[in-house]
Amino acid sequence: MSIEELAQIAKALSDTNRLNIIKMLTKSRLCACELLEKLEVTQPTLSHHMKILCECGLVFAFKEGKWQHYDINCERFKEFKESINAISCLNCEHKERN
């Protein structure tokens, strides 16, 4: 994952509502109506958050009938987590050994 992609995802996750959405989507696929209910935000606000999460690649959006559904992109989420874990602080590691 490039540093630009990492930054885009980090920026997307810098919002409390978007973090809550990701947390919910890691448990199950959800309809927009379910997200609206759980987040207590307006439909335009939810659409804005979902657009950001879809643009950075963490979330898939798809229609089933008249409803918009969302699901986590597990591969992208895993790649993001691995990229973050790969960043280490040599100074911190040195302090832990002492």
Give this prediction's pTM: 0.85
Which pLDDT score is estimated for 94?
Answer: 57
* Type of residue numbered 91: N
Tokens of 41: 């935000």
Secondary structure class of 43 (helix, strand, coil): helix
For domain 3-97, give the CATH number: 1.10.10.10
Confidence of residue 93 (pLDDT cuts 50, 70, 90): low
Assign 3-state DSSP to the chain and report helix, strand, coil percentages, each to 5: 60, 15, 25
Name the residue ranges covered by the structural domains of the chain.
Answer: 3-97
